[in-house]
A and B are shown apart, each in its own frame.
Chain A
Amino acid sequence: MNVDKVSDAAASPQLRQPFIELGLRENEYEAIREILGRRPTSSELAMYSVMWSEHCSYKSSKVHLRQFGSKVPKNDSMLVGIGENAGVVDIGQGWAVTFKVESHNHPSYVEPYQGAATGIGGIVRDIISMGARPVAVMDPLRFGDPEHPDTRRVLTGIVSGIGGYGNCLGLPNIGGEIVFDPSYQGNPLVNALCVGTMKHKDIHLAKATGIGNAVILYGARTGGDGIGGVSVLASETFDADGPAKRPSVQVGDPFMEKLLIECTLEVLHAGLVEGIQDLGGAGISCATSELASNGEGGMHVWLDRVLLRDSTLSPEEILMSESQERMCAVVEPAKIDAFMAVCEKWDVEAVVIGEVNNSGRLTVEWHGEEIVNVPPRSVAHDGPVYERPYARPDWMDARQTSGPENLVRPKSASEVKQTWLTMTGTPNLASKSWVTSQYDRYVMGNTVLSQPEDSGMIRVDEVTGLGVAVSTDCNARFVALDPYKGAQLALAESYRNVAVTGAKPLAVTNCLNFGSPEDPAVMWQFEQAVTGLADACLEMGTPVTGGNVSFYNQTGEVAIHPTPVIGVLGVIENVERRTPMAWGLDGEFVYVLGTTRDELAGSEWAHAIHAHLGGRPPILDLQSEMALADILVAGSAQELFSAAHDVSEGGIAQTLAEMAMRSGVGVRLAVPAGLDSFTFLWSESATRAIVVVKQNRNDEFLALCESKEFPVTRIGAVDSLSKSIELAGVFGETISLDITELRAISEETLPRLFG
């Protein structure tokens, strides 16, 4: 094999190199030559090309993401902030939680099963590399038109991949989202969130400290899969012919990942590791350069020691491979034997591939020849930074002025009833159990709440009952109407979903899915969304602990709706007192918390019934949102509620339907004075929830609302003898919806489309 050595690079400065094919721009190639004072070797070029990709370097987003660092709310819970593999939050009693959401969008469109599977694998390794035991996963998903034939290929593959990998890994899948919109037809979104727990003392960071320490690569062998995944696949727009980059998608082995989790936690808890890093995007290039850059600043790697699945791989391919289920650890020489013994116990292959030094260089040799000699920071951290031009597009005016005011609304009691039945079965509002029943929600035995509840909730401490709740949300139509407000509305919804279950919202993670950053309109959406989110996090006191940016989510000129998926994590001192969504006992009063206005822009009703998107998103007052959360959390702590459920997509109609379907018993309600039945049922005004208050606790509940000056309206009572929702005040009549019929409609949609 002819290998391009460092000495060759000095000797042949004018050699043409395929930097364009590797995804680098001309100016970036020139910058590499300047850093090195010569042309890069082909191996160095491979490393820079993957590490300077949009996916790894955040070169277009960095200037905006700085706001998450500068607008940090005062919050004593943060133990590890942005920049590490995942942020870490203190939840009390000596426990810490780490959580993060990441995208695996492009691979999942090209090869849905493996793309979605390895998306879970990657985020799980981020969590274990912090020293935490993964305890749950969630998957926020976006698909195109449910009736489009390709949606079936994509959805069924992705769901099988998530199930196939996650179930075999032994992590409960406790929530997430499934949303359909034609804007995702050429670019579905597959985000994956993982939550991990640990004791404070077990937190670990990715750095190569200690001169003379060994760098050990362990886990699966390195193969030819996923080469250029981050640069060629994740950082470019699909062309109009659609996806054809299948060799860039990695192939997952969940069994190996399970062994890797157990093996990694065992070596960490035994104190055998100085620094640790997972191998995900950009593989060995990323792990070695980041470890070296964060540590003593130097590392030497014997690349020919890497265990291979395919002995014909070139050094460039080995450096770029994104083979899954691999980790890199920095281990003191005296502890290598003990480390290897743990690996052997778990049947995990491991090999020393490098050594930490203080040379200030990352050097790589291949059978005695030096093929890489670079400053590690220049690869890992000092990549290009772009101030991409951004501008509010002209079409925003037209979009914001064409509101939903003239859309035809139901005009009689029977039309209201028919609309309600229709809405219950739209793909976005219908039951997702056909999907979620393909995921294991029980494994580990600590799942307190899972889909379709507002948040997933996990018991962290079996003795004290300490737990965490996590929700992910984003109504991308709101973001499309106003990216600043829309991102804040996504945060508010996620925050509310956590509070509804009785947990106090504590910290935020995000997965910012956008179109091409080279389009000033997309870049404007991004800038607005990040600013909106950072401002809201500051005001609400919930710091962003980490996240992920996914650009180039478009096919040709058509970008997805801007979709900043927001994950919020909350803490609950005792999960026994969580508030479920199924309403409780006969005669208990049902209340709406919050104000319902005529706000239908971006609503599911406008989308599903009229295929309309225009106007301005609902009003959002963050202080009011915090007051609502205070009531929900305090009410839970005082055990005032037998049920609570957030109002969002589909309005109060959907909230009521879901609570009824979950409990199986009926309710008698009336449209409150001052509201017409349509607005009451389908407006998507923010900052609302429905609660059911226990008998004899109504005075305390109302006093609590009073103390927060928060609007509350009693709308009716639970009727456990009835099997229907009865609503009076609908065009002067009372309508009745049979719960069995609602259930049948709700549960029929997804199996009909995809079963």
Chain B
Amino acid sequence: MTPRVGVITFPGSLDDKDAARAVQLAGGESVSLWHADADLHSVDAVVLPGGFSYGDYLRCGAIAKFAPVMEKLVDAANGGLPILGICNGFQVLTESYLLPGALTRNDHLHFICRDQKLRIENNSSAWTSNFEVGQEILIPLKNGEGGYVADENTLDELEGEGRVIARYLEINPNGSRRDIAGITNARGNVVGIMPHPEHAVEKLTGPTTDGLGFFTSLLSSLVKTGKVSA
């Protein structure tokens, strides 16, 4: 059975179709989820895509947290459902307390769109298992509020538990503490990442196809955990 991966569209989501395309290219079936949905339509995993949910008014991700679908999502996350938050999706995950810390205005105060080099730090999460630790990848980054911050204890804890999944290499593009580009929860099923793996899935339109690894990792993890058959 093909794994079914939900992609949530909030009003103002922009990269939802890109996320769906990435899921399909990796071999999954993408399922559109709507912010007002009352349930998750029995999907095997969920992607929270990039964009400006609810215009990012008030604070990035702050309003999306209250969308009806989020209530079910938080429960599912705590039950182990694999969830990937990309950019605005990462912001929604921190606002929803599924991941610690917060994303703040880039230190240089400009929106930035660039091809960003990352180093994979953790390959035990549901979304990074097909990478090697230490592997360098190049995927697009595009954000205005991507500076990852958390208090020193949290940062120490994330590093101590190996929960930093990727760090910025060469340039820290937004002032993130300790060059952190992405993190996971303790269980390894919820991952937030600021750069955009879904924009690096085809040679034609992306700088590389390195982003595909996040989505193939998910499919491998689902097989490994027996959620879907190989």
Contact = CB atoms under 8 A, between A and B. Distances in A.
Do the two chains belong together in a single complex? yes
B153 to A, nearest CB: 34
B57 A442 contact: no
B55 A442 contact: no
Given A255-B12, A258-B12, A438-B110, A443 B204 contact: no
Contact of A445 (B52, B56, B57, B199): B199
A259 interface: yes
B17 interface: yes
A258 B57 CA distance: 14
Interface in B111-150: 111-114, 140, 142, 144
Contacts, number: 83
A509 B71 CA distance: 49
B206 A168 contact: no
Contacts of B205: 442, 445-448, 459
Nearest to A445: B18
Contacts of B112: 437-438
B111 A167 contact: yes
B113 A448 contact: no
Q: How large is the interface on B (under 10, 10 to 19, 20 to 34, 35 or more residues)?
A: 20 to 34
A347 B11 CA distance: 9
Contact of B113 (A170, A440, A576): A440
Contacts of A575: 204
Q: How large is the interface on A (under 10, 10 to 19, 20 to 34, 35 or more residues)?
A: 20 to 34
Interface of B: 11-12, 14-15, 17-18, 21, 50-52, 54-57, 110-114, 140, 142, 144, 196, 198-199, 201-202, 204-206
A253 interface: yes
A31 interface: no
Interface string A146-175: 000000000000001001100111100000
Contacts of B206: 442
A100 interface: no
Contacts of A448: 204-205
Nearest to B57: A255
A438 B111 contact: yes
A170 B56 CA distance: 13
A437 B199 CA distance: 16
Contacts of B50: 443
Contact of A438 (B14, B56, B113, B201): B113
Nearest first, the 3 A-B pairs at minimum CB distance are A255-B55, A170-B14, A445-B18
A444 B52 contact: no
Contact of B51 (A170, A259, A445): A170
B11 A346 contact: yes
A439 interface: yes
B51 A442 contact: no
B180 to A, nearest CB: 21
A254 interface: yes
A194 to B, nearest CB: 16
B35 to A, nearest CB: 10
B14 A443 contact: yes
Contacts of A256: 55
Contacts of A164: 111
Interface string A243-276: 0000000000111101100000000000000000
A91 to B, nearest CB: 18
Given A445-B199, A448-B204, A440 B55 contact: no
B30 to A, nearest CB: 13
A443 B198 CA distance: 10
A441 interface: yes
Nearest to B142: A440
B18 A443 contact: yes
5 contacts: A167-B111, A442-B142, A442-B205, A444-B18, A448-B204
B204 A459 contact: yes
A446 B202 CA distance: 10
A445 B51 CA distance: 13
Residue of A440, A444, A445 with most partner-chain B CB within 10 A: A445
Contacts of A447: 205
A437 B12 contact: no
Given A254-B55, A438-B110, A439-B113, A259 B11 contact: yes
B18 A168 contact: no
A442 B140 contact: yes
A575 B203 CA distance: 12
A445 B55 contact: no
A576 B204 contact: yes
Contact of B114 (A259, A437, A576): A437
Given A253-B55, A254-B55, A445-B199, A167 B144 contact: yes
B144 to A, nearest CB: 7
Nearest to B114: A437
Residue of A160, A256, A443, A448 with most partner-chain B CB within 10 A: A443
A445 B17 contact: yes
Contacts of B52: 167-168, 254-255, 258
Contacts of B14: 168-170, 258, 443
Residue of B17, B55, B57 with most partner-chain A CB within 10 A: B55
A441 B14 CA distance: 12
A445 B114 CA distance: 15
Nearest to B9: A262
Contacts of B142: 167, 440, 442-443
A167 B110 CA distance: 12
Interface in A436-463: 436-448, 459, 462
